[in-house]
Amino acid sequence: RLLRQGGCMLEGESGLQKKTSVLIADDHKAFREGLSRLLRDEPDLEVVREARNGLEAVQFASELQPDVVIIDIAMPGLGGIEAIKRIRSHSPTTHFMVLSAFSYDAYVLAAVEAGASAYVLKTEGVREIAEAVRSVHSGRMVFSSEVNIAVRKRFASTDAASIRPRVHLSARERELLVLAARGLGNKEIAAKANIAERTVQTRFHEVLARTGAASRTQAVVLALSEGWITFDDVRSDGEPV
């Protein structure tokens, strides 16, 4: 049998080639199953399992050791960011591609800091998604064109190891970071939090000083990575991510 853990073999012009094994994790059944069917038409890709949430993704990845995990960010039980971290601990050769409906800077930065090699939007076609899987498996980073250019450039210079949590955030500080993660500016945050705009600026300066983050975006990434705020908190209208 030409089967092995992490994928099977594909016979081509140059002989037997290993298929790239793919695990898909998304809580939206129609999207998950549709993507699975489409990727199964790709001769060099093999969808080995579908997960309905982050906990299943961790379990299936542990059992199957897939080459690539395609994962959504916000899922019930366990989100994509934490799932990536857990999977990496026992499957260090697995690559990760976040497939999301939104291109918020904080989401992208948190995903890459957690270990994702790609951040692709769900509006991409199956051909682009398949090519992204191949690129990720080969060790390249991939981003949809809509992802902020400044964010993409930041990956080359951000030293995630230099960011360390030093304090426990207050409820007010977490609230402000959630609003910042939604892309709101000082004026909008002040209105939402019912405080003065100058107070917003002061509070953020305090958060940066206490956490060691170099910027507001970096502070949001740290808060998401450490679980001080969650992606469920960030979703302002309950829309799926």
The pLDDT mean for the chain works out to: 81
Per-residue pLDDT, 98:
95
Across 127-166, b (16+ Cβ under 10 Å) vs e yields eebbebbebbbeeebbbbeebeeebeebeeebebeebebe
List pLDDT tens digits, range 173-191.
999 999 988 878 888 899 9
Work out the average pLDDT over 65-88: 92
Which residues contact residue 94 at a Cβ distance below 8 angstroms, ignoring those fewer than 6 apart? 61, 65, 66, 67, 68, 69, 87, 88
pLDDT band with cut points at 50, 70 and 90 for residue 9 = very low
Per-residue pLDDT, 12:
45
Indicate if the pLDDT at residue 37 is higher than 80.
yes
Indicate if the pLDDT at residue 109 is higher than 70.
yes
Least confident piece of the model among 26-40, 131-145, 214-228: 214-228
Find tokens 């309905």 and name the residue.
Answer: 52
Indicate if the pLDDT at residue 165 is higher than 70.
no
Which residue did the predictor score with more confidence, 8 or 192? Answer: 192
pTM of the model: 0.65
Nearest to 102 by CA among 135, 151, 58: 151
